[in-house]
Structure 1
Amino acid sequence: MTTASAPPAVVGVIGGGRMGAGIAQSFAVAGSRVVVAERDGSAAGAATERIVGGLRRAAGRGTPTGAADVDVADRITVVPSVGELPPDADLVVEAVHEDASLKAGLLTAAEDVVHDGCVLASNTSSLSVTELAAALRLPGRFLGMHFFNPVPVSALVELVLAADTAAPTLAAAVRWTHALGKQDVVVKDSPGFASSRLGLALGLEAIRMVEEGVADPEAVDTAMRLGYRHPMGPLRLTDVVGLDVRLAIAEHLHKTLGERFAPPRLLREKVARGELGRKTGQGFYRW
C-alpha cells in the first residue's frame, strides 16, 4: 500500500451518524474539504456534535486522527439536506442505515446535484451494490466503500464492485483509500461481501453457543482472542457493532444465502428488550 496518494479535494457524506461522522473525520484529517448532509436541521446539529466529539476524543488519545490542528474541524461542514451537497464534489459516500430504498433514493438525489465525474459510493455492509447502482443514471461511477467502525482508527476499506462499476471508478477509490492510510480489499458484489459474511457467521455461532449454554460470553471471546489471536472476541464485537445492526444483516443474509444465517433466538430477544450493545449500555456485556 502506498501512502503517497492524494485525497479527493471535496467529499460529500450522506448521513452524520457514527459511521458517517467517522468517514467525514477521516477525509478531513487527510486534507479533504468535507460536507456532511443530514435529513433536517435537528439531525444536522446532532451530527455536528458527534463529529466534534470524535475529533476531541482522538485528540485526547494523541492520535493523528484528531483535531490537534483546528483546521481539521474547519474543513467539515454539516448541511440539512442532500440538495446542499457541493456540486464540485469528487466523491460522495452514502452512510445511512441498511435500508435499500432509502439508500437508493439518497444516491439518486445526490446524483442530481454533483457533476458527472463525481464518484458515488455506499457504505453498505451487506446490501447489493448492483441493485443500488440500478437506480442511478450513471451506474459506472458507483461502487461500495465499506468502512469499519470506528472509522478513524480502522485499517480496512472493503471496495465492492457492482456489475457496471467502471475501472476508473475503482482506481480512484483505491487511491483515496490509500490517501486515508488504509488498506483496500476488492470484492465482487455478493450478499455480505467478504467481511460481513465471514464476521457474521462467526458472531452468530458464538451467540448460539451462549444460547445453548456451551460457555458464557467472556469464555467464548477469550478463546478467540488467545486461541486465534483475534483482537476482540465475536460477542464483544457484536456489542460494538450493535445487536440491532447484526440482526438486520443476519435477516438479509438469511433471505439470500439460506438457513446457516438464521438469527439465533437469543439475538432476537436481546434486540426486542433494547439490549443493543455499547450504544445502550447493555448487550452481551454491560458497558
Structure 2
Amino acid sequence: MRLARLRIGRYSTIILFGLVIAFPMLYLLSGSLMSFRDIAQYPPRLFPTTPIWDNFIQAWAYLTPRTILNTFIFVFGVLFLQLAICLPAGFALSKIRFRGSSVVFALFLVPILMPTNLILIPTFVVTLQLGLVGTFLGLILPIAGQASVGVLLFRQFFSTLPDGLIEAARIDGANWFQTFFRIALPLARPIVAAYSVVTFLTAWNLYIWPLLVAPGEQTRVLTLALAPLATTQFSNISPSVGFAAAVIAMVPVLIVFVVFQKWFTRGIAGTGLE
C-alpha cells in the first residue's frame, strides 16, 4: 500500500510539472484557433469558442513559402558546414598526435570564453567588406564558423574511443581518412544526432544575425517574419494569426526532435559504443 502511494505521488508530481512546462505551448495551440474576441476576453479563455482554422491559412500567407524555404536553407547550411568542420577537427585533436596540438586546442577555447556581443560587430564588418551582406553565404558562413563548442565536444567523444581500435585499423593499412569515416564516424552517430538537434534548434531561433545581415525579402528567415507579430503596435494582424504563425514555425523543430529523440537521448547520456 505504501509503495502504491509513493508511486501515485511520484507520477502525480511528474504530471503536474509536465503540465506546467507544457502550458505555454498548449495555450499557443489553443490561441491559434481563437478569434480576436476570444483572445481579448478577460479573464483569458483557455479554449476557443469555435475553432477558426482560417488563422493558419492567413498565417501561411503572411509567412510565405519563400521565407520558410530560406529558413531551411540557412539552418541546414549551418548544420552541414559545422558538422564538416567539427567532426574531422575533433577526431584529429583526439587521435592524431602532432606538434602544437595543445596550442590548437587552447585556441578553440578562446571563442567560447568571449561574449557573443563582443564579436558581433567585427564579424559584421568582415562580412560587409567581403560583400556578403544580403546573401545566403553571409548569413551562413559566419555562424557555421562558430564551431568551437562542436570541435571540443567531438574531441571529448573521440577521446573515449579505445586507442587499440584506431591502431588496429592503422595496422590493417587504413589511412587517417579511412579510419575516420569507417571506424570513428559510425560510432559517433548518437553524439552527432544530439549535436545536430541542438544546432538545428539554435540556428532556427537566431534573430540578431539574420536581422543584421539578411533582412531583405529574398533572404528573410522565420524569426524576422515573426518578430513584428509579437506586438499589435507594429502589426495590424490579429494575435490569433500570430499564434498560428508561431505554431507553423514550431512544427519543424518538433518533428526533428521527435525523429531524433532516441539518438539525442543517447548522445546526451554520453553513450557511443554499442
TM-score (norm 1): 0.23
Which is strand-richer, 1 or 2? 1
Indicate the structure whose relative CO is greater, using CA pairs within 8 Å and at least 6 residues apart.
Answer: 2
TM-score (norm 2): 0.24
Higher alpha-carbon Rg: 2
